[in-house]
Structure 1
Amino acid sequence: MKLADKYLQTHASHDPNDKVRQALASPTKMRFIDTPLLEVATYLSTLHNLDIQFDRRALEDVGLSSDHPITIDLEGVRLQSGLRLMLDQLELTYVVDPGRLLITTPEAAEPYSQSAFYPCVDLIYDSDSLAGEGGPSDYDSLIDLIHTTVEPDSWYFVGGAMPDVQPMENGLLIRQSEAAQRKIAALLAALRTAKSLPSDAYDPTPIDALPQREAAELQKLRASLDKAGSAAFVDTPLIEVAEYLSKLTGSRVLLDKRALEFVGKSLDLPVDLEFPKATARLIFDDLTREHRLSYYLENESILITTVHDVESHMVLKVYPVRDLLQSVDPSPQLLTPSFHGNFGGSGQSPSPYWETATDRLLDSMTSTIQPGSWKELGGSGGIGVLKVADALVILQTEQNHEQIARLLHDIRTQRQPRPESSTAAKAKQDEPVLIRYPIPLDDDGSDAISKFARLLTSEVAAESWNDETRYAISLGKTTLLVKQTPAIHAIIRQWIAQLYPHSIYAQQAAGGLRGGSGSSWGSCYAPELFDQKLGVVGGVPPTPRVMQDAVKSGM
């Protein structure tokens, strides 16, 4: 069906917020000492020909007014950066309301969130599907990735105010703040960049999930930290150290006064450090470590703040890892016992599960790079994989990203090929293994599990079964005992995941996610090992409902 040209032209109208966004992107100048917030807003409104208003009720609710004194000295930054730096000290924010800019609180800004639709066909179908060979869509992996790494505490299912991401028409429907929407758009663009990288000259340089201009500004700040100098501080006030670092780097170095005062540290905190010759990065690292502080790079500035506050300013990056996923032994490893409960339960599982290259890569990150910084151990960092893009997506501090990049570089430059297995060893690896499969049957009749077993042996590698060494038998009303090779077990678990998309098998198949909404399970299969298309009858993949009906009918 083709939409009428009149409809398309009617709904391609001019965005009333374009003027506001253009003003936010323009350079500004802010030099104020104890100037009322209202006067600052009036000055900026005149300078940028922009309507700036206050949400007075929201400000009053947090004990602020338009007369609150502002002290700030900025020049040569975009208005967007200047406003963020100024309002952050008041724990305020701004929203772009049709044709104007409204200063308000983060809580009062929630109703101003926006809905956006993102076409994602290239990120929810694998290459075989896009080439016309058929295959199911995988919305869940992409949705879980966004929930985990973009404003992870803001989503409704974890107690936030934003509705969960919804799949629709080979894309995603998302309601979020304008700032979060920019992050999501940048994340999808970075994933596409990672997916498009050529394998013959693979460049695994991490990709900042930021709009192009902000990414360039961040790279400039990082480069400034490589400048070297000498310094000797003896009881030197922290504010003077910041001024020295600003001259050394050529970047704007600011102190987060609000955060520092909250932990009892003043701008005059005495500093004792000596560096005959060191990079600015090393000076920042030693300075912040000595005084239990931290720093982050944002809004065209380097800000010295507290360890706690830096977690609110994490960086989202996409790491191309196609070479790491393909270079290791691709066969899944059998782990037993497993301490993941089946189908939403807890405790020890009676079934072993498969660990793949994806799981091992995720575990290597979360277990060796500041383990306490990840969400699953009480931190704020998040990590996930999108297999269709061959990419890791990581939300972490700038300092932890540096450690991750170094670790991946070391792995790539020092890895060694696996020794060639003997014929006997290869044969042993292919010996059948007996595994117990709990099945979430809709029908609890006494013969339902037997019907399921018959369907399984007819649909999955039908020619490989026999009654002695490779078999599937029922155990009770909802459990199968299956003896098969590790490769066929991997296919079976994928097949069950397709049949029951809300089961633990589907959670495993979706890939591991750490630090957010996703399951802590990793992928349970390695489809790149197998040429056959799973669950395909007559060239057409059956839907989960068709397959479930087949079980009930005894197919």
Structure 2
Amino acid sequence: MARSAPFKPTVLIVVVCIVAAIVVGALDGVQETRETDARTKQAPMSLTASQLRQALDRQVDVDVDRLPLKRAIESAVAEQGILVRFDETAFNDDIFTKPVTMHLKQIALRDVLSLLLVPRGGAYVENRGTLLVTSESSAAYMLETHFYRLPDLVDGDGPVDAEAMTYLILRNVARESWGQPFGQGTITDVENGLWIRHTQAVHRELQSLYRQLDRFYAHPGGCDYPAQPGAPASAQDLAISLRLEQPVNVDFVDTPLVDALHELANRCRINIWLDEQSLSDEGISPDSPINDDIEEISLKAALHTMFLPWQLTFVVEHGVLFVTTPRIAEEKEIARIYDVRRIIVGDDYDSICNLIGTTVAPDSWPASTGPVQIGVLPGMLVVSQTQSVHAEIAQLLFDIQRIRTTPRIQRPAPMPSNRQRRVEAWIQQLLSENVNLVVEDEPLFGVLKTLAKMHDIPLWLDKVTLFDEGINPDSPVSITASGVTLESCLQTILKPLDLVAIYDNEQLRITTRRIAEEEFTIRVYDVVDLAEKIEPVPAVHRQHQGGGFQGAGFRGQGQFQVGSDDFQGGRFIRHVPVVDPPVDPAVQEQYRIADATQQIADTLRSDLAIETWDSTGGYGSVQAFQDMLVVRQTEAVHKKIVRRLQEMRRTLVDGP
């Protein structure tokens, strides 16, 4: 019987080692597979074009401290599963390694990218489901072609004329980027639409314009506020714009600017972005001290007061309140639509365009084109301007529309009831209160604070301007006032120091007379009751400055020109050829009212502060528009106009 071979322990050890190796290898393979799967799930992937747009529109929170720009962008887009590529060769310097800090909440991802890239000369391009970060100059040559329908008119007369729509786009959207030699953009009109070839950035502007058009046509009867259909472009911008009108209290003592803005952002629950690069270019530190104690004024007015010493301003864009320098703000033009269906009469768009172009920031319009930069479609104006100019246009049209839509029995219309006008009327009422005050060699600043507290009036001393003029805010003041108005008391205190009090952004601002004479405001005066009592000059009709009425045989005649023969007997008179009056009695009455309104404008121009009007080399203007006067003047001249109109009403309307 054969005997089995003896068992060798070494063989068992070898077998065990082999089995162990196999098991360990298998486990490692499983673990590696799991890690690979996890990395695959986390790694950005190429999306479809639609998915990429949706991802860029999502609201995100950004919390970045001193992170290189490239890593900041990667971290922002990775959470949305977006694959990003960086064209580093497109930049002259390495911007991607420069540190950035950003703390924003609930903001669209595309707005985050714009805030990070645009100030540094960068741009992003959506490219086949991935994101390409490149320079603005390189992106300008990456063109796409899209179709845009022609909007339908409200009255059912079919779509807007293709030629008119093309002209409107060329004049108001990226004006210098169309055609050679200035740009590459092209527009081709086809049936019921336009084929437009341009960059993605310009296509986004066009899409914003079309959204405004849709909002306009959603209100066939016209809007209560003329600027409502045109602004703002996004829900985030709308929330910020509304918050700017709400009251806030500010109390900062030597608080760094960046910290003050951070506190306001948290308190008001909006995103505020400080353009540190532009501030640095102007030599302004983000840590510049803020010293302001302001109560119950709008956030917009509070920011204006805070920023004035440092010559800063702000715009609302990309879902943030963007704090920057005036130079940068003036470069940011946007196209905005204004509803004028309740303002114009007939088809007389020339009058309102001329009024805006010659009254609102007249130096800001191109010298070669003037107000023709304003595009016109039925019932609307399309204006490309800065946000500060848009604010003035919106206020002007709002004031005109409120007067125009007020029933005749209730006219002259009271001051429009938006916050700015209500506060202005309230401060004017406070200035008419009586004062009893006795002070002897008290500091100016202390006396002003006492008066502000006594009458509960928001008063602001412009210390920076005073220091620039060599005026000490603590200059001694002595006065004994009893039974005089607050306005008279302030004039007595301020006049020896060559200071004045003017209304400015919901406060009474104490500044120098030189500054006050350089600041102009626009106001609309309802003079229909005066115009009805004035008989036209016999056998002549005057040339109107904007007219504002159109009917059988009548239309405004454009800019009013002044010659050496226009002054007779110390009064401003211009005779023009006689025209046959219109047959329609209603139109004839419009003609007569417009003529009488122009006579009132002539009287103010010839009798009050003659040297301040544009007709004599000044910067003020008065234009007759329908049965209203639109005046651009200083605070001092506006007060003279109010008093003169009151005198005329006592004489013509109320009677002896």
Tell me if both proteins adopt one fold, taking TM over 0.5 as the criterion: yes
Aligned residue in 2 for 1:203? 411
Q: Secondary structure at the match of 1:276?
A: strand
Residue type of the alignment partner of 2:621: G
Question: Alignment partner for residue 302 of structure 2, among 74, 82, 89?
Answer: 82
Task: Answer whether contact 1:207 1:318 (CA < 8 A) is retained.
Answer: no
SS in 1 for 2:367: helix
Matched pairs, number: 394
CA distance in 2, matches of 1:278, 1:86: 32
Contact (CA 8 Å) 1:119, 1:170: kept in 2 or not? yes
Where does 1:317-332 land on structure 2 (aligned, <5 Å)? 317-331=523-537
1:323-375, CA deviations, whole angstroms, 9 ceiling, x for partnerless residues?
A: 33332222455599xxxxx99998879x9635953443112112222223333
Counterpart amino acid of 1:292?
Answer: D
Deviation at 1:408, TM superposition (A): 1.4
Residues 288-327 of structure 1 mapped to structure 2, 5 A cutoff: 288-311=494-517, 313-327=519-533
| 1:213 alignment counterpart | 419
Residue 484 of structure 2 aligns with an amino acid whose one-letter code is: A
Cα displacement (A) at 1:289: 2.9
Q: Is the alpha carbon distance of 1:25 and 1:412 closer, same or farther for their aligned partners in structure 2, counting shifts above 3 Å?
A: closer
Matched letter for residue 193 of structure 1: R
Query: Does the alignment pair 1:164 with 2:373?
Result: yes
RMSD over aligned Cα, in angstroms? 3.5
Q: Secondary structure in 1 aligned to 2:236?
A: coil
Match of 2:275 in 1: 55
Q: Is the 8 A contact 1:252 1:301 kept in 2?
A: yes
1:376 partner letter:
S
Are 2:643 and 1:409 equivalent residues in the alignment? no
**Larger Rg belongs to:** 2
- Map of 2:360 onto structure 1: 150
Secondary structure of 1:251 counterpart: coil
Question: 1:96–1:309: structure 2 CA closer, same or farther, 3 Å change rule?
Answer: same
SS in 2 for 1:146: helix
Aligned residue in 2 for 1:277: 483
**Structural mapping, 1:486-501, within 5 Å:** none
Secondary structure of 1:153's counterpart equals: helix
Cα shift at 1:280? 0.8
Q: Give the aligned residue type for 2:644.
A: L
Q: Which amino acid aligns with 1:187?
A: L
Question: Offset of 1:85 from its aligned partner?
Answer: 0.6
Structure 2 partner of 1:140: 350
Given that 1:217 and 1:300 are in contact with CA atoms closer than 8 Å, whether structure 2 keeps it comes out as yes
- CA separation in 2, counterparts of 1:24 and 1:231? 36
Give distance in 2, aligned partners of 1:313 and 1:258: 16
Q: Give matches, 1:97-496, under 5 Å.
A: 97-125=317-345, 129=346, 137-157=347-367, 164-199=373-408, 201=409, 203-204=411-412, 207=415, 212-311=418-517, 313-331=519-537, 334=540, 353=576, 356-387=595-626, 390-415=627-652
Look up the SS of the partner of 2:473 in the other structure: coil
Aligned to 1:525: none
Task: Report the counterpart of residue 451 of structure 1 in structure 2.
Answer: none
User: Is the contact between residue 622 and residue 631 of structure 2 (CA under 8 Å) also seen in structure 1?
Assistant: yes
TM-score by length of structure 1 reads 0.63
Any idea what the Cα deviations from partners look like across 1:465-523, whole Å, max 9, x if unmatched? Answer: xxxxxxxxxxxxxxxxxxxxxxxxxxxxxxxxxxxxxxxxxxxxxxxxxxxxxxxxxxx
Q: Would the alpha carbon gap of residues 114 and 71 (structure 1) be closer, same or farther in structure 2, given more than 3 Å must change? A: same
8 Å CA contact 2:411–2:528 kept in 1: the answer is no
Unmatched runs of 5 consecutive residues or more in structure 2 = 1-151, 160-209, 216-232, 543-558, 567-573, 579-594
CA apart distance, 1:204: 2.1
What TM-score do the two structures reach when normalised by structure 2?
0.54
Residues 348 and 93 of structure 1: CA distance in aligned 2, closer, same or farther (over 3 Å)? same
| In structure 2, C-alpha distance between the alignment counterparts of 1:265 and 1:379, rounded to whole Å | 27
Contact 1:228 1:248 in 2 (8 A): no
**Cα contact 1:296–1:313 (8 A) shared by 2:** no
Structure 1 distance, partners of 2:393, 2:471, is: 36
| Structure 2 SS opposite 1:67 | coil
Question: Any conservation in 2 of the 1:296–1:397 contact (CA below 8 Å)?
Answer: no
Distance verdict in 2 for CA 1:383–1:239, change over 3 Å: same
The 3 A distance-change label for structure 1 pair 61 and 375 is farther
Deviations 1:77-124 (A, max 9, x none): 332221111001211101112211111111210232321122324433
Counterpart amino acid of 2:614? K
Paired residues of 1:93 and 1:105 also in contact (CA < 8 A)? yes
Larger RCO: 1 or 2 (CA < 8 Å, sep 6+): 1
Structure 1 residues 207, 417: CA separation in 2 closer, same or farther (over 3 Å shift)? closer
1:16 match: secondary structure: helix
Cα displacement (A) at 1:265: 0.9
1:207 corresponds to which letter in structure 2?
Answer: M
Identity %: 28
**Structure 1 residues 359 and 305: CA distance shift in structure 2, 3 A:** same
Aligned mates of 1:163, 1:245 — CA distance in 2: 48
Please give the alpha-carbon distance, in whole angstroms, between the structure 2 residues aligned to 1:344 and 1:366.
13
Equivalents in 1 of 2:212, 2:381: separation in Å? 23
Q: 1:535 is matched with which residue?
A: none
How far apart, in 1, do the equivalents of 2:532 and 2:491 lie?
Answer: 35
SS in 1 for 2:451: helix
8 A Cα contact 1:207 1:319, kept in partner: no
Are the aligned partners of 1:206 and 1:318 in contact in 2 as well (CA < 8 Å)? Answer: no
Cα distance change on mapping 1:122 and 1:37 into 2, 3 Å:
closer
Q: Deviations over 1:125-148 (max 9, x none)?
A: 2xxx4xxxxxxx322221121123
1:80 counterpart SS class: helix
Query: Letter of the aligned partner of 1:99 in structure 2?
Result: G
CA separation in 2, counterparts of 1:344 and 1:363? 12
